[in-house]
Structure 1
Amino acid sequence: MYQWHEGLWQHFRLSQQQGRFHHAQLFHGPSGVGKQELAKQLAQAILCEQHQQLTACGRCKSCLLIAAQTHPDLLCIAPQGQSISVDAIRELADFVHHSAQQGGRKVAVIANAHKMTHSAANALLKTLEEPNTGRYLLLTSDDLSQLSATILSRCNKVQVTVTDPQHAQQWLQNILPQEQVFPWLTHFAHQPLKIAMWFNEGVFEKVDLLYRFACDIKASHNFNQVQGILNDHPELLEVFCVFMQQKLKAKLLEGLSYQAYSEGQAALNQFMSDTRQILGLNQSLGLNKLMNTIKNIIE
């Protein structure tokens, strides 16, 4: 268990002891805080034969089945492509209404629930409105604004965050090389798992290059490399824009006029919007336009 999850876990145990544990838990917060891991651990604790203390023993038949990813009473749903289909949610409805094979409890986990289609969300409502005893739904979401008010009202919303950056720093010390210093890590201190993913997947140096590029906009060195990174790793677009926003804010503190700052921010927002819709070589034109605008502003 991650250290920043301990407070939430104590709350779960207390609510279970008091008979207030909600059948539908919605874990929300930024990416990189371990919402999926929290949901999986809670699912295992619920299904464990020693579930009275909401602690998975790791030794019972149920825990062993989960470890082998073959537990018949645990259903995990995630987006296929860009969305979660209505068929997947109908499968969930069928799953919760059938008898459990182990211990009488069943758990369904929906990762990135905000990616459900409109039809899928409507189908889920029927299950949420008519909860069955011993049936639990655990949802995760990076963006509550994409979930309907009716779904939100039928779930116990649990915000998952890193409240103490030291917890994240201590955890990351065991993963990242200590001989190197990366100033941009502070921008993502509240998303330690995202940092770890970048390191493990070999994109750490690419993120660092995006940061150095933003810090030296006038030189615009490595333009082609930056373009290649954003083409190959579109998920890093928001990271790049965070670095650019920080550069603009730094210039504002150094005396840049608010009008110029607003112009730069508008250009950055336009670039973000266009890049999500324009593919291929046109992205290079958009990046070039953004760089020219920013350079003219800060000169």
Structure 2
Amino acid sequence: MYQWHEPLWQNFRLSQQQGRFHHAQLLHGPSGVGKQPLAKQLAQAILCEQHQQLIACGRCKSCALIVAQTHPDLLFIAAQGQSISVDVIRGLADFVHHSAQQGGRKVAVIVNAHKMTHSAANALLKTLEEPNAGRYLLLTSDDISQLSATILSRCSKVQVSVNDTQYAQDWLRDVLPGGIAFPWLTHFFHQPLKIEAWFNEGVVEKVDVLYRFACDIKASHNFNQVQGILNEHPELLEVFCVFIQQRLKAKLLEGLAYQAYSKGQTALNQFMADTRQILGLNQSLGLSKLMNTIKNIIE
């Protein structure tokens, strides 16, 4: 268990002891805080034969089946492509209504529930509105603003975050090769698993290129390299924009006129909105336009 999860577990156990543990738990927060591992641990604790204290014993048959990833009463759902389809959620309803094979309880985990289509979300409502005894739904989401108010109202919302980044720093020092030497890591200590993933996937050097470019936008000597990185790793686009935003704030503190700062921030926000919402957007063209705006502002 990650240290920053411990207060959440205390609340889960207390609600279990007091008989108010909700059948639908929505674990929400930014990426990289361990929502999915938390959901898996919670599912194991619910299905464990010694579940009264909401602690998985790790020795019973149920725990062994979960470790082997063959538990018949545990269902994991994640997006196939960009969304979670209505057929998948209808399959969840069938799963919930059939008898349990082990211990009488069933758990379904929906990863990134905000990726459900509109029809899928409507289908899930029926399951949420008519909970069966011993049936639990664990949802995770990076962005609950994309979930409907009716879904939110029928779940117990649990915010997952790293409230004390010292926990994250200590953990990262133990798991990362060579420690945490990059100066930009401080921007992401509240998302430690994201940092770990960058190291494991071998993209940390590319993140460093984006950071160094943002620190010296006026030079723009490696603009093509930055474009190549963002084309290959579109998930780093938001990280790049964090670096640009931090650069704008630094220039503001150095004496940049607030009107110029606001113009740069508006251009950055528009670029991010376009890349998220407009299909087929020429990212290279949009990025070039953004960089020209920022360069003109900070010169």
Q: Is the shorter-chain TM-score for this pair beyond 0.5, marking a shared fold?
A: yes
Partner of 1:213: 213
Q: Which residue of 2 aligns with 1:285?
A: 285
Q: Structure 1: how far apart are the matches of 2:180 and 2:123?
A: 50
Shift of 1:295: 1.1
**2:10 equivalent to 1:13:** no
Alignment of 1:28-43 (within 5 A): 28-43=28-43
Residue 179 of structure 1, CA deviation: 5.9
CA shift, 1:275, in A, is: 3.3
Cα distance, 1:189 vs structure 2 = 0.9
Asked if 1:63 corresponds to 2:63, the answer is: yes
TM-score by length of 2: 0.97
Matched residue, 2:187? 187
Question: 1-side partners of 2:279 and 2:144: how far apart?
Answer: 26
Structure 1 residues 5-35: Cα deviation after superposition (integer angstroms, max 9, x where no partner): 0111011111111111111000000000000
Quote the Cα distance in structure 2 between the aligned partners of 1:183 and 1:151.
40
Are positions 1:166 and 2:169 aligned together? Answer: no
- The match for 1:245 is 245
User: What's the secondary structure of 2:212's corresponding residue?
Assistant: helix
Distance of 2:6 and 2:293 partners within structure 1: 46
After TM superposition, the structure 1 stretch with the greater mean CA deviation from structure 2, 259-268 or 208-217, is 259-268
Runs of 4+ in structure 1 displaced over 4 angstroms?
Answer: none
Query: How far does the alpha carbon of each residue in 1:29-62 deviate from its partner, in whole angstroms, 9 at most, with x for none?
Result: 0000000000000000000111111111111111
5+ long unaligned stretches in structure 2? none
Q: Measure the CA separation in 2 of the matches of 1:175 and 1:284.
A: 35
Aligned-pair CA distance for 1:252: 0.8
Residue number in structure 2 paired with 1:117: 117
Q: Which residue of 1 aligns with 2:100?
A: 100
What is the aligned-residue identity percentage?
A: 85
> 1:3 and 1:180, CA in 2 relative to 1: closer, same or farther beyond 3 A?
closer
Counterpart-to-counterpart distance in 2, 1:69 and 1:260: 55
In 2, Cα distance between equivalents of 1:6 and 1:39: 13
How much does 1:279 deviate?
A: 5.0
Q: What's 1:48 paired with?
A: 48
Report the CA distance between 1:178 and its aligned residue. 3.5
Q: Within 2, Cα distance between the matches of 1:55 and 1:9?
A: 9
The residue type equivalent to 1:233 in the other structure is: H
Which residue does 1:176 correspond to in 2? 176
Give the aligned partner of residue 234 of structure 2: 234
2:187 maps to a residue whose letter is H
For the Cα contact (< 8 Å) 2:107–2:136, is it kept in 1?
yes
